[in-house]
Structure 1
């Protein structure tokens, strides 16, 4: 082959090589642009709660909970930390005690929260302003509305963590269970029979309103409230956890066909007070007592107002009436 042909072939080869490198370079530039776009994508979102609008992580990895634990667990999220009053005292959270670090009770141990390095704090709206101010120095804080019902609480928290589908699935399953248990309990309690749930402390008792065990018995299972209790709920704009504390001489004024009794055995003297009540003529004269329609329930299972306790107490309540 002549030198001229060889040189021409070499030029062609060099040109082809340069073209290939240029194409490869264009591909690399596109990848860098894409990577740059991905890196620049916002990692936070604006979210509004009762305090105002704040920037929170889109995909938080380390959430600290103040009374939001069962909602987060229902959505498939285990918070890195919480407070002892919620975790340790809740019968339905005992199995999670080794997974959720405690940061004191309330007010919380702020140093312990700092050590957990949360990227988001979700708290109930009952948290004091001064506590919230200190928490905001640790991580973004979102307050969910404690006064809302359990379903709306769950929906609000699901919106924070982008788990709306999971929330609706949990609610749908729970509503189906409510319908089944409501139908079942109607076999044992007549529509006109009244039910009162009371909590006994040392020297006093309270009647449940429309939260905690009152919510399960009346709002979900449809058992009839005493008219006096419904009146008090209405006078308090539809929100009453319990009545004011009263001495047991007042008990005949809440004369229900069925009486569900929860003794707060975490308070010294409550058990002894209930024993005294049962020896009194006032207690013995109650129709529910005379007719054997008094159910004593354990405090640890019946005291809280959470998704898990509400779900479990549906079955617990049906069992009470079924086995009477």
Structure 2
């Protein structure tokens, strides 16, 4: 994907992040979002089977077997079940994890007023969106049943896969996929077992635009793969200020980087940021001096869907194994 599109994509995702994450809603824990009851729609002449999904906006009636889905933020969550939506934003279509499965899916652009007309033209029977703009959500609801699932609702792969398995009526497929996922995680963990000394800490951080962020164990920059799945240990400050506090990202001044720096650092530089790696603050960190900094590819570590997390687990483990084998 070209740099311009990547920066636009980064800006869109950061905007949603600031709305749902930094405001303290990064992990809503809406367990009832996943529950529903099936019923027959006896009030319609077509007698189509429907189901009720309980959401943060109340109960939403959707088709039990939707055929024309439009999604904003959850493309991979459908593709992993072999379900191809009819429309999705370009940044999801161009993700390295979905691009090979995206043929035939219409680009609906950004989450703005222009998307409404494009979505309407696709005649969807279900819209699933991260939301963020209630005025847009209301317009979507006039087009088709709409599930608003805010960014950060799901904090972990198992929860997310099971939620979409229920939405699609594919619970058994979800469990089968998760069994394979768990097996890959265990293999990745085994590949670095014994190479990492007890008490070794790992940080996930980096500049975005003109700001600097520390990331926790949620949806940001591979945090789930690093901390939740591989079980790598965060610095105590990261655990206290982000993970235990259910905060996905924390904006700090660069003068405070050392307070959150672990023995190893996973570094994300994105959003057009210009980062001076020779600065006095950065260059004096132990991880930097010991060459224990792994720079992440934003295109591979920005996505946070189950397919992405599965790949990120293996990629992080491979990075560490290659380095630690040489360090022995």
TM-score class, shorter: 0.7 to 0.9
Structure 1 residues 232 and 169: alpha-carbon distance in aligned structure 2, compared to 1, 3 A threshold = same
Structure 1 residues 102 and 287: alpha-carbon distance in aligned structure 2, compared to 1, 3 A threshold = same
Residues 120-161 of structure 1, C-alpha deviations (whole Å, 9 max, x = no match): 11223x443222211111111123464222322222222122
SS in 2 for 1:187: coil
* Partner residue, 2:35: none
Structure 1 residues 165 and 63: alpha-carbon distance in aligned structure 2, compared to 1, 3 A threshold = same
How many angstroms does 1:250 deviate by? 2.1
* Partner residue, 1:130: 135
1:295 correspondence with 2:314? no
**Alignment check: 8 A CA contact 1:191 1:223 kept:** no
* Partner residue, 1:104: 109
* Partner residue, 1:187: 194
SS in 1 for 2:176: helix
Cα RMSD, aligned residues only: 2.0
How many angstroms does 1:223 deviate by? 0.6
* Partner residue, 1:172: 179
1:285 correspondence with 2:284? yes
* Partner residue, 2:167: 160
**Alignment check: 8 A CA contact 1:85 1:106 kept:** no
Structure 1 residues 235 and 297: alpha-carbon distance in aligned structure 2, compared to 1, 3 A threshold = closer
How many angstroms does 1:42 deviate by? 4.3
Query: So what's the TM-score if we normalise by structure 1?
Result: 0.78
Residues 48-99 of structure 1, C-alpha deviations (whole Å, 9 max, x = no match): 32222233212211111121211111111011101224333x2212223432
Q: How many angstroms apart in 2 are the aligned matches of 1:185 and 1:242?
A: 27
SS in 2 for 1:64: strand
Q: 1:233 aligns with which of 228, 242, 266?
A: 242
Q: Unaligned regions of 5+ residues in structure 1, if any?
A: 1-38
Larger mean CA deviation between 198-207 and 216-225 belongs to 198-207
Which structure has more relative contact order (CA 8 Å, sep 6+)? It is 2
Larger helix share, 1 or 2: 1
Query: So what's the TM-score if we normalise by structure 2?
Result: 0.77
**Alignment check: 8 A CA contact 2:185 2:314 kept:** no
Q: Unaligned regions of 5+ residues in structure 2, if any?
A: 1-44, 324-328
* Partner residue, 1:261: 267
Structure 1 residues 168 and 186: alpha-carbon distance in aligned structure 2, compared to 1, 3 A threshold = same
Aligned residues: 274
